Every structure is written in structure tokens, then in C-alpha cells.
A and B are shown apart, each in its own frame.
Chain A
Amino acid sequence: GAVVSQHPSRVICKSGTSVKIECRSLDFQATTMFWYRQFPKQSLMLMATSNEGSKATYEQGVEKDKFLINHASLTLSTLTVTSAHPEDSSFYICSARIDASSGNTIYFGEGSWLTVV
């Protein structure tokens, strides 16, 4: 089946620094990827939709200058948490949509744990 890979799986960074999380579709092309955030014992919250070759679409309340998304190729989207603070510590999950002509299934990555100290 289709595989979505995230890297790193865990990262610890100092407050004030920036950290990048990568999301790759390993065996399919994904023009659209999605980024979610999940706090412990809570549901997944959609942050933004990442579109290859264009600007990401952010959900209401998500700071686009804080969470920079780049989708430079059909297999890679990156989320950069800029000037990270302890409240940004969370589980970040990406998902990728197989192009509509092949079906409309969404596949999720394994997630990335971010801890800001």
C-alpha cells in the first residue's frame, strides 16, 4: 500500500529556534498534502492544506508565518515551526492524497513529536 514517511519522528529544540518536519509520499505522487496537529488525548486538528507549486491554505486560527509550509515537489511537503515556543510542543502528522485519477484515499504519516524546551 501507499506509504507516507515523516522525518524526524522525534525532535527536541530550544525555545526561539526553528524546526523543519518533512513529509514524503514514498510510492505515489501527491499534489495535495495535509498537516495536522494533535495534543495528548485529543483529536487531530487540521492546520493547513499543502498544494504542490502553490501557497498552502491555512485553517482559521493557524498562523501562517509561524507554521511555514512548502510543497516544492510532488512527493515532499515540509512544515517549519518558526521561533518555536514550549506551547508548540505537540504531535504533528501529515497526510497525502493520492491523485484523484487513481482514487481519493488519504494516507497518513507516522507523525513527528516536537518538544520545545
Chain B
Amino acid sequence: GESVGLHLPTLSVQEGDNSIINCAYSNSASDYFIWYKQESGKGPQFIIDIRSNMDKRQGQRVTVLLNKTVKHLSLQIAATQPGDSAVYFCAETQNTGNQFYFGTGTSLTVIP
């Protein structure tokens, strides 16, 4: 695999604050990226995606930013809620829709 699993970094935020989760991807040829949310004991859920020809994409309460120069992705969550507490992974792929390689992940805890 192109990304190696490590112990998860953590992020704690107050309810209502904005959250920013960062991800450094490894393959400069990757052209499609997805952010996933994983709750304890469950499979990943799609949050938002972005293609390499874009540098920003917005969804409902979430924004993904892509900086190809430094191979960096970020996920911004506005007005973070307790239900947003989960582990967030970025995933990268070449040739859209083929094998996805996951980043380390970040554990987000929202404090009520």
C-alpha cells in the first residue's frame, strides 16, 4: 500500500466550533480524493470528494481543500456537532475509482 497505518492522531473541539482535519497524501499522481467518516465498529462513510483539477469543494457543513503542490488535503467541518465525533480518513486514488489508499486518519472528539 502507499499509505501506512499508524496510531491515530486526535483532535478535540468544542461543540459549535469549526474543525479542520489535515491529510498528507503520498502519490503525486493521485487524481481523485475522498474524505470518509468512520464511527466505532462500522465501515467508512463517504463525506465529500474532490478531483485533482479542483482546489476546493463545498458540501453541507463540510469543505475540502486540495493543495497539489504540497500534496495536502484538508477537511473543514463547520459548526461541529457531537454526532461528528468519529475517525476521519482521506483516501487517494489514481484513475478515479480504482484502488483507494487510506491516510492515517484523525480521531475527532466533539466536546458538548
- A residues near B (Cβ < 8 Å) are 4, 6, 32, 34, 36, 38-39, 41-46, 49, 59-60, 91, 93, 95, 97, 100, 104-111, 113
Judge whether B97 is part of the interface by a CB distance below 8 angstroms: yes
B42 touches A46 (CB 8 A): no
Minimum CB–CB distance for A93 against chain B, Å? 5
Q: By the criterion of a CB under 8 Å from any partner CB, how many residues of chain B are at the interface?
A: 29
- B residues near A (Cβ < 8 Å) are 1, 3-8, 32, 34, 36, 41-46, 49, 89, 96-105, 107
Q: Is the interface of A mostly helix, strand, loop or mixed?
A: strand
Docked pose: A34 CA to B107 CA in angstroms: 24
A104 touches B7 (CB 8 A): no
Interface-central residue, A4, A95, A106, A107, by most chain B CB under 10 Å: A106
**Closest residue of B by beta carbon distance from A38:** B5
Known: A42-B7, A43-B5, A43-B103. A107 touches B97 (CB 8 A): no
Known: A100-B97, A111-B41. A41 touches B8 (CB 8 A): yes
A109 touches B43 (CB 8 A): yes
Q: Which 8 residue pairs across A and B have the least CB separation, nearest first?
A: A104-B97, A42-B5, A43-B5, A108-B43, A44-B102, A111-B43, A110-B43, A104-B96
B46 touches A105 (CB 8 A): yes
**Closest residue of B by beta carbon distance from A97:** B97
User: Besides the contacts A32-B98, A97-B97, what 14 more A-B pairs have beta carbons closer than 8 Å?
Assistant: A34-B99, A41-B7, A41-B8, A43-B103, A43-B104, A45-B5, A46-B1, A46-B99, A46-B100, A46-B101, A91-B41, A93-B43, A106-B100, A108-B36
